[in-house]
Amino acid sequence: MFERADALALEDSLVRLRHALHRQPELGLELPRTQQAVLDALAGLPLEIGLGKQLTSVTAVLRGGRPGPAVLLRGDMDALPVQEDSGVPYASEVPGRMHACGHDLHTAALVGAARLLAARREELAGDVVFMFQPGEEGMGGARLMIEEGVLDAAGTRVAAAYALHVTSAMLPAGVATVRPGPVLAASDEVTVRVTGAGGHGSSPHAAKDPVPAVCEMVTALQTMVTRTVDIFDPAVVTVGSLHAGSAGNVIPEHAEFVATVRSFSDEAHARVRSGFERTVRGIAAAHGVAVDIDYRENYPVTVNDPAEAAFALRTARAVFGAGQVFEAPRPMAGSEDFSYVLREVPGAYVGLGACPPGRDPMTAPMNHSAQAVYDDRAVVDAAVLLAELAAGRLQFAAEEPS
Ligand SMILES: [Zn+2]
Ligand SMILES: [Zn+2]
């Protein structure tokens, strides 16, 4: 239904919107300028618009001309606290903030998809919900939008949901990847505080030294992972911060470390969490020190529905050409709050290459880097793919025997 050629007429205005967003990055859940830019860009389209209460989200509903279910397309809109060093002419004008993850591109592409779909809304066999989301980078904006009803914005629960993410490295522009099952990791952050009794370094028997206790914990956690988690359903524990003491001859009262935990299934997540707590508590007991564990579950694992992933793969191949789209062999260890959407409804999360021409995708700076650059052509690629995912999925639903 939609081809890249359809979107080329929109290219200039979408790229202009993307550059304007890139110049004025905003962080977290409060993105008032970005929200206004989206509202301005959607003005005049036949959309039912709703704004977020806990965050500056925009939810827009397009009613198709034929009856059918609703599907959801999501674009995240927030930037990162990074000082831009990319050298692009439309670089951030706000010190210490940058669209280093390409969410400016996602936002402009979702506007493009809304324009493409609105232009052919009489042909659509159902409704489309456009989810413009703040606060992907650690704030769980998707969870808040679900709380505020985005999945039911069309009056009925959406039958499927799609999102994509651009990458400044690894994939050349115009190449897309999809995979069934887990695509991104669950991510937890754990802070462990051990309290003993301070004393003189010459007389540890008269103190309760927390230092050897945390040293054992850090190494035992690695053994715990290999003895607890299936090697074909992996997990990673990394202790990236470790602090204790102030002098070589003083036994401190406290020691503390912070770990990140990544896993790719609910089962591995549960096993590694209980193993983590058991290991740390057991070692603390052995040393006679007290321990406090603050185990924060950030985002759950992002899981593509197998049928929706297969549909997204077919759709991407139809849009970009069969040779430009492949099934990713493995998930990636980053995490993403679209995971909350995919826990509620089936859907797929697609990777889209945006490495500029002339750069080697294998060595180009990655997402979140101050030097990351995303090719403008990906705005059109992403807009067409999103539009076709929605239109194709509604058509597919219309053709299914009931
Ligand atoms: Zn990011
Ligand atoms: Zn991102």
Burial of 185 (0-12, 13-18, 19+ CB in 10 A): buried
Fold of 4-185+301-399: Aminopeptidase (3.40.630)
Predicted pLDDT of residue 1? 79
Distance 194 CA to ligand 1 centre (A): 32
What is the average per-residue pLDDT within 27-39?
A: 98
Classified as helix, coil or strand, 71 is strand
What is the average per-residue pLDDT within 65-93?
A: 97
106 is in an annotated binding site: no
Predicted pLDDT of residue 7? 82
Strands 66-76 and 125-133 come out as parallel
Distance 341 CA to ligand 1 centre (A): 17
103 is in an annotated binding site: yes
Distance 22 CA to ligand 2 centre (A): 14
Predicted pLDDT of residue 130? 98
- 26, 76, 127, 136: the active-site residue: 136
- How confident is the model over 118-141, as pLDDT tens digits? 999 999 999 999 999 999 999 999
Does the pLDDT of residue 311 top 60, yes or no? yes
DSSP letter assigned to residue 92:
-
Ligand nearest to the CA of 103: 2
**Ion ligand 2 neighbours, Cβ < 5 Å:** 101
Ligand nearest to the CA of 80: 1
136 catalytic? Reply is yes
Burial of 282 (0-12, 13-18, 19+ CB in 10 A): middle
- 26, 76, 78, 253: the active-site residue: 78
101 is in an annotated binding site: yes
Distance 356 CA to ligand 1 centre (A): 18
**Ion ligand 1 neighbours, Cβ < 5 Å:** 101
Taking the C-alpha atoms of residue 118 and residue 366, their distance in angstroms, rounded to an integer, is: 34
Q: Which two tokens stand for residue 211?
A: 């230092």
Ligand nearest to the CA of 187: 1
Predicted pLDDT of residue 333? 87
Distance 138 CA to ligand 1 centre (A): 9
Helix (H) / strand (E) containing 176: strand 176-178
48 catalytic? Reply is no
Distance 103 CA to ligand 2 centre (A): 6
Does the pLDDT of residue 402 top 80, yes or no? no
Does the pLDDT of residue 308 top 90, yes or no? yes
Classified as helix, coil or strand, 214 is helix
Q: What percent of the chain has pLDDT over 90?
A: 95
Question: What's the whole-number average pLDDT of the chain?
Answer: 96
CB 195 within 8 A of CB 244: no
- Per-domain boundaries in the chain: 4-185+301-399, 186-299
- How confident is the model over 329-374, as pLDDT tens digits? 999 989 999 999 999 999 999 999 999 999 999 999 999 999 999 9
Distance 368 CA to ligand 1 centre (A): 6
CB 137 within 8 A of CB 101: yes
Ligand nearest to the CA of 76: 2
What is the average per-residue pLDDT within 53-78?
A: 98
- How confident is the model over 234-277, as pLDDT tens digits? 999 999 999 999 999 999 999 999 999 999 999 999 999 999 99
368 is in an annotated binding site: yes
* Domain 186-299 class, CATH top level: alpha beta
* Alpha helices (runs of H) in 137-183, residue ranges in sequence order: 141-147
205 is in an annotated binding site: no
